[in-house]
Amino acid sequence: MMTTSASPAPIRLALAEDPLSSASPAPWIGPLIALGTRAARFFRKQQGRQLIVAISVPKRDFAATLVAVGWVMAQAAPRLSNPLEVLRTAEPGSVVRVVTERDVIVDRFCRLNEEKDPPRLHLSNSQWQVPRIRAVQVLDAAELDQPIRMAHPEPGAIGRLARAGEGWDARLAAPTADLAIIGTRTWLQEDFDAFLSREGDVETERPKELLEDLAKAKEKGKSYRVTVGHGALLDVVLPQSDQSSTCFTTLYAAARLADKLPLRTDLNAAILDGGGAIKYLAQIETPVVICILDRSVADETADDLVIQIRNTRGEPLLLCDDFGWRPPTGVEALAFTVAL
Amino acid sequence: MSRIDALNQRYAACAELVRSGVEIVGVGDPAGARFNAAVRRLMVLLKDEGGDFLDDLVGAAKALRWRQISQPQPLDFNPGLLHLAGEVAKHAARLRGAIADQALLDELVTSAAQVAGTDPVVGAVLLRSCEEVGTENCIVIAASTPAAAGLESWLNKHDIPVLTAGELERGQLEREQAYVVGPPRFYRSSLVTAPVTSGVSFLMPAWFGDRSVPRSAIGAYAEGAIRIVARVFTEGDTTEPELTIPGETEDESEYLPQPVWGTRQSGDREPASDEVEARKVLLSGNLAMWLDDGERIRSLDPAQPVGERVTYTDVAAVRAGTYLLLRQGETERGVLYQAAIGRLARGEVIDEALAAWKHLLTERLQEVGYRQVVKQLRAAGVKTADRARAWTNPNLVRPNSDQDFERLLQWLGINIQPTFGYATLLRKTLYQVSAEIGKQLETAVSAADLPELETIGHLSLDVKAEGFRGILATRVLAISPFTEIVSRHDARVPFEDRSGQWLE
């Protein structure tokens, strides 16, 4: 095989199951993230029809999560006014999301005290020096059962690769939560706990939250558990939960999906991980759908369903031309659009 | 090995198999070839003569042929081979005088006895191959759970693990070479497109002609499609009887053991209002059920983790191998519907409003027929018009799509509101009830012995919820190729049935 391209060797990415063990590089990690990114770009360019992409992988592990990471990282950061200006116009009693260096908090706004130097923000449950606030957003939600405080998500190596840098805090404050991930919840949550890095890179600066939790676990003799703020894939996927103060995605268990349809209409994309999720393909109306077919499962019902929709209602696309994306070795891919 | 390293190995094994292909070894088997020739003649006779009187002989002959391919262990470990040869002789004797070609019956009996009188040659080659590679480096893959059990009784003595393709997926065996018993086309493509070992060899009798390797289901349309080539070898005495049979089927799957379906009895009429079109579904445990094209059915996926095993499957997606959760004597959908109506403040009004549009739709179906209704609904912009008959089912609350439902009501000449609102409210309530029952079933399933379910095929579950005693988890063995018209009351209720007796 010959390659005619003169571009430099692509960056190889690596995954690790815990933050201290060495990461295993693999040629399929980067392309799966890239697929999510390309799908997000395609979505912004062409609307009006539903895009369906199906890839088959030797085994489902990590595929949906990596595609989700790509989708999330492709989102543009919103332009937010500086925190002091936002707080000056905020109505007392309104619900705000506040991003600081260490936390993301959703709480009720009480008042802004500018008589102090530096100015001070009073929430129902905590107080903050305004210069320590990186981003703030007033939310539409009128109801709030209780304040939520979550560690500041750290995008780590992916953030550096995607140059998320400055926009990250604005995104945490005013997130675009337009992606649904549907599959086996337990397996997806295991996937979210993996750590991504560039091949050969040694993580020099670890998130403080991670170091503290590792120390705590060691002290108590308990096993370490990944949470938001540790720099795992979880920090980028940021699924919605009762304990999350900000989120980029909504996770649905395929086994319970039948009782949840139709999906929210503000979702732009859905990743269907495995046959249990793909069987609902005809009932998913998000503008973008990405199906992960697990070839290690003998049941080909999901594959047949995708092909049936492609052949009866679809207009095929070429991923290599229309997306500029080629599947890595071991991955098959097809794409088409259907009328919504 | 970490999960990521194991996954990496999986991608690598896939790349390796794409590069080197799989090996197919056809082993010369003169006795088997002779019996195979007789079975092929019998199949042509079946096609020419028709009728059900040949069913048992054909069933026994196919079962013996399948056993030769799927269980080539020596006779000492293979009592089933002798038993099936006896069945062939028994049913041939019963047909004596009933068909003109007596010589064919004699040939079937003689060649079956010959097959059952010598150790299968494929078995010898299988054992030798394993020993050459080293028994610690290889695994043997069997086509089904009964076949795995048969082979295991023999190969265990040689410390060679035998697994079905499904078990292979769950195990953590690190082996280089897989020997697969039987031709590739009897296996799902996952065996070669998502291999666990870097080498895969299929062993089969040389008389079995079809050597095609299954392709991934999306391969024909995909970029980066995985195409696995086969390197075919033959060994031993591959002489076969000269045989040209006019009108013989090319489709190997016709030779697989099949249930006795008979022919459609219902004629070409439309079902009455209390009837449905339904396919017979054979279930493990000598059971069967009429499955109508209504709402999705509660099912169980043992491969999923605790808490996510109980789910729903669309009727069209029910396949051989699907595990269904059935209530003995009653359907879950009826119970669900009544519970949901009972919870709603104006339940009776809602029930009547829904009955009204379903009644109108049923009338239209009877007046102009299903095809015409679908055509008219399509013209009215209803995308899923082919579900028209399913929508008459009282338990299927409304079409999934809002747009389809609105257009359907308009087409029926019914005001969209309040019917639309009622149906949507009822659906939401049904979802709640169904989710609650789902949780109870999930608890019952998590306490059940799932390996036993997968080995035996069916299992009674102990469900504590009211009205939910006697839940049966059972595997679908086969689905009838044609529908019958049955009473709505009988649909989805399991009953005793023995038409699967010739299945493995």
Per-residue pLDDT, A45: 84
Continuous H helices in chain A:
29-45, 63-73, 83-89, 156-161, 167-173, 185-192, 208-220, 234-237, 254-257, 275-278, 301-313
> Encoding tokens for residue A142?
């009128």
**Spatial distance between the Cα atoms of B466 and B393, rounded to a whole number of angstroms:** 25
CB contact, 8 Å: A17 with chain B? yes
Tokens 């503290």 correspond to A212
The predicted model gives B301-319 an average pLDDT of 90
Q: Which of A24, A56, A331 sits opposite B4 (nearest CB)?
A: A24
Per-residue pLDDT, A4: 43
CB contact, 8 Å: B169 with chain A? yes
Q: How many CB pairs under 8 A join A and B?
A: 160
Residues 226-265 of A with CB under 8 A from B: 253-256, 258-262
**Spatial distance between the Cα atoms of A152 and A246, rounded to a whole number of angstroms:** 10
Continuous H helices in B223-269:
none
Is the Cβ–Cβ distance between B416 and B410 less than 8 Å? yes
CB contact, 8 Å: B188 with chain A? yes
Query: Does residue A106 sit in helix, strand or coil?
Result: strand
Per-residue pLDDT, A5: 44
Which segments of chain A have a pLDDT < 50? 1-6
Per-residue pLDDT, A10: 65
CA R_g for chain A: 21
The predicted model gives B483-501 an average pLDDT of 87
Closest B-chain CA to A255: B311
The predicted model gives B139-160 an average pLDDT of 93
> Which of A10 and B150 is assigned the larger pLDDT?
B150
**Spatial distance between the Cα atoms of B156 and A160, rounded to a whole number of angstroms:** 54
CB contact, 8 Å: B305 with chain A? yes
Per-residue pLDDT, B172: 67
Pairing outcome for strands A148-151 and A103-113: antiparallel
Continuous H helices in B116-159:
121-133, 145-155
Handedness of CA B170, B171, B175, B178 (dihedral sign): negative
Q: Best of B168, B189, B308 to disrupt the A interface by mutation (most A CBs within 10 Å)?
A: B308
> Which of A202 and B283 is assigned the larger pLDDT?
B283
Residues 103-162 of A with CB under 8 A from B: none
Least confident among A93-102, A157-166, B97-106, B143-152: A157-166
Residues of A in contact with B11 (CB under 8 A): 26-28, 58, 329-330
Is the Cβ–Cβ distance between B484 and B280 less than 8 Å? yes
Per-residue pLDDT, B174: 78
**Spatial distance between the Cα atoms of B221 and B243, rounded to a whole number of angstroms:** 38
Are the Cβ atoms of A261 and B400 closer than 8 angstroms? yes
If residue B410 lies in a helix (H) or strand (E), which one and from where to where?
A: helix B402-412
Q: Best of A20, A28, A259 to disrupt the B interface by mutation (most B CBs within 10 Å)?
A: A259
Residue A108: exposure state from Cβ atoms within 10 A (0-12, 13-18, ≥19): middle
What does the buried/exposed string (b/e) look like for B76-107 if buried means 16 or more CB atoms within 10 Å of the residue's CB?
Answer: ebbebbbebbbbbbebbeebeeebeeeebbeb
Max alpha carbon distance in chain A (Å)?
A: 71
The predicted model gives B102-129 an average pLDDT of 94
Per-residue pLDDT, B504: 65
Closest B-chain CA to A285: B401
Band the pLDDT of B480: cuts 50, 70, 90: very high
Tokens 């998320």 correspond to A164
**Spatial distance between the Cα atoms of B84 and B61, rounded to a whole number of angstroms:** 8
Per-residue pLDDT, B106: 94
Residue B355: exposure state from Cβ atoms within 10 A (0-12, 13-18, ≥19): exposed
Half-sphere exposure at residue A280, Cβ-oriented, CA atoms within 13 angstroms: 31
Per-residue pLDDT, B158: 94
- The reported pTM is 0.87
**Spatial distance between the Cα atoms of B475 and A176, rounded to a whole number of angstroms:** 43
Are the Cβ atoms of A279 and B317 closer than 8 angstroms? yes
Give how far the C-alpha of residue B216 lies from the chain's centroid of Cα atoms, to the nearest Å. Answer: 18
**B174-222: per-residue pLDDT in tens?**
788 999 999 998 898 999 999 988 899 999 999 988 889 988 889 999 9
**Spatial distance between the Cα atoms of B252 and B256, rounded to a whole number of angstroms:** 7
Band the pLDDT of B468: cuts 50, 70, 90: low
Pairing outcome for strands B310-313 and B297-300: antiparallel
Percent of chain B predicted with pLDDT > 90: 48
